[in-house]
């Protein structure tokens, strides 16, 4: 038995999703059980900071593509 925590946000960045799962088994015999789940609203200032950071990275990558 092992516990894992997952944290993610979708492309809309409207919230941060978290989950705690119990994982048991191995390979094709693996079983997972959700222990808890919660969605936290994304603060607007955090969303804007992420967008700004991502845009900077996109501009850097575009230099190598063109």
Q: Which domain holds residue 15?
A: 2-65
Tokens coding 59 = 């501009």
Q: What tens digit of pLDDT does each residue of 12-38 get?
A: 889 999 999 999 999 999 999 999 999
* SS3 assignment, position 56: helix
- pLDDT-derived band at 63 (thresholds 50, 70, 90) equals confident
Question: Which residues in 14-43 are b (16+ Cβ under 10 Å) and which e?
Answer: eebeebeeeeeeeeeeeeeeeeeeeeeebe
Number of domains in the chain: 1
Strand partners, 18: 7, 38
pTM beyond 0.75: no
């Amino acid at each position: 038995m092992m516990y894992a925590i997952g944290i993610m946000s979708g492309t809309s960045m409207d919230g941060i999703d978290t989950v705690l799962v119990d994982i048991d088994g191995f390979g094709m015999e693996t079983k997972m059980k959700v222990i808890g789940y919660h969605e936290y609203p994304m603060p607007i200032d955090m969303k804007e900071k992420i967008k700004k950071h991502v845009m900077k990275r996109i501009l850097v990558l575009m230099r190598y593509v063109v």
